[in-house]
């Protein structure tokens, strides 16, 4: 008998046994030893069980929860978030979650393996394995990405001159078309030959791709990939980070801007290419900082495309080794931080010491957010409200935006 769905999305039975693709209340037949078992058959299904929409589900490692009805699935994610906050003794209003719809993800990463001269094999890693699932469809992704999979497999075919090459195609849908940054091509032997580069560019042109780069180095460009961020149009550097869905980006941006309303001066820390910067600059002058110089360069260039902003300054700065100090924040009344999964221990310590009146934290990792939030609360802030964000559909992953005030 499955008693609950655990943190990674696997069903949990008595004695600490976990069975994937199962739900609370189900009776199942499983095999194997130890704590991880393999599902053989669902003997008595839960009324919350639904038919998975993807033919690759169960083999592909990308999704864990397509078999669960949307309502209880989303409730489970919000409940996990609430439990994570409670571990750090944090109590806040949990708002209704934003949930991304199927077919809206604008970026994915395809792992490629040698096929034939015409096309490589390409897909996602199998569940808990390095094996490749050669995919033909992906219901979480934008249909334009799915339609490009055959052309992406053709693009990858010239990448296997060296036996150690294991390419990954990082594909982003932009206003100019698909932007593809390829990593994992063996470079120590000299990288791709001139002939392979020519073939790569020819195949990119045949497919109508906007740009192809090899670990950030230009290999082909027909059009500069651009995205709209608030009132600005930003030319993306190769491999630039964007929120996974346009809808989630808009919801998070609107929530951050609403929380920052009335500010006189704003700091946007871990700003990237300006996901929140341009929306915030419609409210007040913004000082933005990020460790990636290319992102800062793109952000600065984007300022010229958005007349009417209150003012933006930006600097390339490692916020771990050199966080923005409390003394530098004396004239700042609102600070936004959106760190990587590791969180923002060093920067949070400076925010805690500062006179900033309101802090808005954006996080892709509730555990490190809760740790950083505890430091702010211990310094006199109150975590007022939290917006859960589900943009990695059918995974165990949940994101959030939290608002703190003194």
| Gap between the Cα atoms of 2 and 10, Å rounded | 10
Which of 54, 60, 138, 364 is catalytic? The answer is: 364
The SS3 assignment for 403 reads: strand
398, 83 contact by CB (below 8 A): no
| Gap between the Cα atoms of 72 and 132, Å rounded | 31
Residue 190 has pLDDT above 80, yes or no: no
57, 102 contact by CB (below 8 A): no
pLDDT at residue 128, rounded to an integer: 80
Domain ranges of the chain: 2-49, 75-101+244-405, 107-226
Structural class in CATH, domain 2-49: mainly beta
CB atoms within 10 A of CB 275: 25
Q: Where are the alpha helices (DSSP H) in 49-114?
A: 70-87
Tokens of 62: 């990308």
Task: Determine the CATH number of domain 75-101+244-405.
Answer: 3.40.50.150
Burial class (CB in 10 A: 0-12, 13-18, 19+), 68: buried
Strand partners, 258: none
Q: Do domains 2-49 and 107-226 have the same CATH topology?
A: yes
Query: Which CATH topology does 107-226 take?
Result: OB fold (Dihydrolipoamide Acetyltransferase, E2P) (2.40.50)
330, 265 contact by CB (below 8 A): no
Does the active-site annotation cover 364?
A: yes
Phi, psi of 35 (to 5 degrees): -85, -20
Report strand pairing: 121-125 vs 286-290. unpaired
| Gap between the Cα atoms of 370 and 364, Å rounded | 11
pLDDT at residue 62, rounded to an integer: 92
User: For residue 7, what pLDDT band results from cuts at 50, 70 and 90?
Assistant: confident
Tokens of 406: 């003194």
pLDDT at residue 389, rounded to an integer: 98
- The alpha-carbon radius of gyration of the chain (Å, integer) is 23
pLDDT by residue (tens digit) across 332-368? 999 999 999 999 999 999 999 999 999 999 999 999 9
241, 229 contact by CB (below 8 A): no
Report strand pairing: 382-390 vs 93-94. parallel
pLDDT at residue 187, rounded to an integer: 82
pLDDT at residue 13, rounded to an integer: 93
pLDDT by residue (tens digit) across 236-281? 999 999 999 999 999 999 999 999 999 999 999 999 999 999 999 9
400, 294 contact by CB (below 8 A): no
The SS3 assignment for 124 reads: strand
The SS3 assignment for 199 reads: helix
| Gap between the Cα atoms of 275 and 389, Å rounded | 16
Counted residue by residue, the chain has a size of 406
Residue 313 has pLDDT above 90, yes or no: yes
Residue 33 has pLDDT above 90, yes or no: no
- What's the pTM? 0.94
Tell me the average pLDDT of the chain.
96
pLDDT: which is higher, 390 or 191: 390
pLDDT by residue (tens digit) across 43-83? 999 999 999 999 999 999 999 999 999 999 999 999 999 99
pLDDT at residue 129, rounded to an integer: 83
Q: Give the C-alpha distances (Å, rounded to integers) separating 401 from 61, 97, 99, 337.
A: 27, 10, 14, 10
The SS3 assignment for 48 reads: coil
| Gap between the Cα atoms of 245 and 243, Å rounded | 6
pLDDT by residue (tens digit) across 211-248? 999 999 999 999 999 999 999 999 999 999 999 999 99
pLDDT by residue (tens digit) across 93-122? 999 999 999 999 999 999 999 999 999 999
The SS3 assignment for 68 reads: strand
Question: Of 287, 357, 294, 360, which Cα lies nearest the Cα of 324?
Answer: 287
The mean pLDDT of 309-325, rounded to a whole number, is: 97
């Amino acid at each position: 008998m499955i008693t609950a769905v655990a943190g990674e999305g696997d069903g949990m039975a008595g004695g600490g046994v976990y069975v994937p693709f199962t739900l609370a209340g189900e009776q199942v037949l499983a095999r194997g030893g130890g704590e991880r078992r393999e599902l053989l058959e669902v003997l008595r299904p839960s009324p919350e069980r639904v038919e998975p929409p993807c033919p690759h589900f169960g083999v592909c490692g990308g999704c864990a929860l397509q078999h669960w009805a949307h309502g209880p699935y989303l409730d489970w994610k919000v409940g996990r978030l609430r439990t994570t906050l409670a571990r750090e003794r944090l109590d806040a209003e949990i708002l209704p979650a934003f949930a991304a719809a199927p077919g809206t993800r604008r970026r994915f990463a395809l792992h490629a393996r040698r096929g034939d001269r015409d096309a490589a094999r390409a897909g996602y890693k199998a569940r808990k394995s390095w094996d490749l699932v050669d995919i033909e469809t992906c219901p979480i992704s934008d249909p334009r990405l799915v339609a490009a999979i055959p052309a992406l497999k053709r693009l990858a075919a010239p990448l296997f001159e060296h036996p150690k090459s294991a390419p990954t195609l990082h594909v982003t849908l932009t206003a100019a078309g698909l932007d593809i940054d390829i990593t994992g091509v063996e470079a120590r032997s000299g990288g791709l030959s001139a002939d392979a580069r020519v073939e790569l560019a020819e195949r990119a042109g045949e497919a109508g791709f906007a740009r192809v780069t090899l670990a950030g180095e230009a290999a082909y460009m027909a059009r500069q990939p651009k995205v709209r961020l608030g009132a600005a149009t930003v030319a993306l550097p190769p491999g630039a980070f964007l929120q996974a869905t346009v809808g989630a980006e808009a919801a998070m941006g609107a929530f951050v801007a609403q929380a920052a309303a009335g500010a006189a001066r704003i700091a946007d820390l871990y700003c990237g290419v300006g996901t929140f910067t341009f929306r915030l600059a419609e409210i007040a002058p913004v000082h933005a900082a990020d460790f990636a110089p290319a992102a800062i360069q793109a952000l600065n260039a984007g300022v010229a495309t958005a007349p009417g902003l209150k003012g933006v300054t930006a600097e390339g700065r490692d916020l771990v080794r050199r966080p923005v100090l409390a003394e530098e924040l004396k004239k700042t009344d609102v600070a936004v931080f959106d760190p990587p999964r590791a969180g923002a221990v060093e920067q949070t310590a400076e925010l805690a010491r500062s006179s900033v009146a309101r802090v808005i934290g954006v996080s892709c990792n509730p555990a490190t957010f809760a740790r950083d939030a505890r430091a702010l609360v211990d310094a006199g802030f109150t975590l007022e409200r939290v917006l859960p964000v589900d943009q990695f559909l059918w995974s165990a992953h949940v994101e959030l935006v939290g608002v703190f005030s003194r």
